[in-house]
């Protein structure tokens, strides 16, 4: 079964970096795309707030159509060694990167089940599986996304809905400008990745070609996770 006509792809954190590249690629593939951000995008909302997420989805659905592709990309970093990390730093990152993805997934699933078609792609990270000093909150949130991905995949597999994850490595974005130069030596490919390379992986997982790919983790990391 193919995607229903008029289906919309929602990209959270879709105004810059990886999210903007994903939105651009999905538009090029023919999707109607909406972006959601805390301070910008087609609709503004804090993904950590379930009521705000519900209102944002309702606005997009009324204006554009049913949201049948969801890319959970919204994220933030607040790095600190675990022994010095404040509860505020922990809660902020978990709230956006993990709880925010759950909130959006929870809201999207109803429409996907009604359509008996849907694609959810969670943007995790190479640190989800390998850790990184100073990023206990970020690594925990991104690892949690992998667990969420696999569970939703199993729950929805017979309903025409897939849920997969992408784990980028060091990608050239505003979020990594302070660490990219120090991490590139650890990348077997010898360079940082481009947002468009992550977007290509996401586009595949949203396509009909990926209908039998479910609960998978696709690494886009230049070999860091090998």
Which CATH code of 3.40.50.720, 3.40.50.2030, 3.30.300.30, 3.40.50.460 fits the domain covering 8-220?
3.40.50.720
Do 203 and 123 form a contact (C-beta atoms < 8 A)?
no
Going by C-beta distance under 8 Å and a sequence separation of 6 or more, which residues neighbour residue 165? 121, 122, 123, 124, 145, 146, 149, 216, 217, 218
Q: Which residue among 26, 138, 170, 218 is the active-site one?
A: 138
| Ramachandran bin of 92, using left for φ above 0, alpha for ψ from -120 to 50, beta for the remaining angles | alpha
DSSP-based three-state secondary structure for 168: strand
| Ramachandran bin of 30, using left for φ above 0, alpha for ψ from -120 to 50, beta for the remaining angles | left
Do 130 and 142 form a contact (C-beta atoms < 8 A)?
no
- Identify whether 212 is a catalytic site residue: no
Cα–Cα distance for residue pair 29/104, rounded to 1 Å: 23
3-state secondary structure 88-109: HHHHHHHHHHHHHHHHHHHHHH
Q: Whole-prediction pTM value?
A: 0.94
β-sheet bridge partners, residue 164 = 121
Do 163 and 156 form a contact (C-beta atoms < 8 A)?
yes
Tens digit of pLDDT for each residue in 164-175? 999 999 999 876
Per-residue pLDDT tens, the chain, 226 aa: give them. 667 788 999 999 999 999 999 999 999 999 999 999 999 899 999 999 999 999 999 999 999 999 999 999 999 999 999 999 999 999 999 999 999 999 999 999 999 999 999 999 999 999 999 989 999 999 999 999 999 999 999 999 999 999 999 999 999 987 666 666 777 888 999 999 999 999 999 999 999 999 999 999 999 999 998 8
Beta strand 32-37 with 43-44 is parallel
């Amino acid at each position: 079964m193919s995607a229903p006509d008029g289906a919309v792809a929602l990209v959270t954190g879709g105004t810059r970096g990886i999210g903007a590249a994903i939105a651009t690629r999905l538009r090029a593939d023919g999707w109607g795309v909406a972006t959601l951000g805390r301070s910008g995008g087609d609709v503004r909302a804090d993904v950590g707030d379930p009521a705000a997420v519900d209102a944002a989805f309702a606005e997009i659905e009324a204006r554009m159509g049913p949201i049948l592709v969801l890319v959970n990309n919204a994220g933030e970093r607040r790095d600190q060694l675990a022994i010095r990390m404040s509860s505020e730093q922990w809660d902020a990152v978990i709230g956006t990167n993990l709880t925010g993805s759950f909130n959006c997934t929870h809201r999207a699933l109803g429409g996907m089940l009604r359509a008996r078609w849907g694609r959810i792609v969670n943007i995790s990270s190479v640190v989800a599986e390998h850790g990184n000093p100073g990023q206990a909150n970020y690594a925990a949130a991104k690892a949690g996304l992998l667990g969420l991905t696999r569970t939703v995949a199993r729950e929805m597999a017979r309903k025409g809905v897939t849920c997969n994850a992408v784990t980028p490595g060091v990608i050239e974005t505003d979020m990594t400008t302070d660490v990219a130069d120090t991490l590139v030596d650890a990348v077997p490919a010898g360079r940082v990745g481009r947002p468009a390379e992550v977007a290509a992986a996401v586009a595949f997982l949203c396509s009909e070609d990926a209908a039998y790919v479910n609960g998978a983790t696709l690494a886009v990391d230049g070999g860091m996770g090998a």
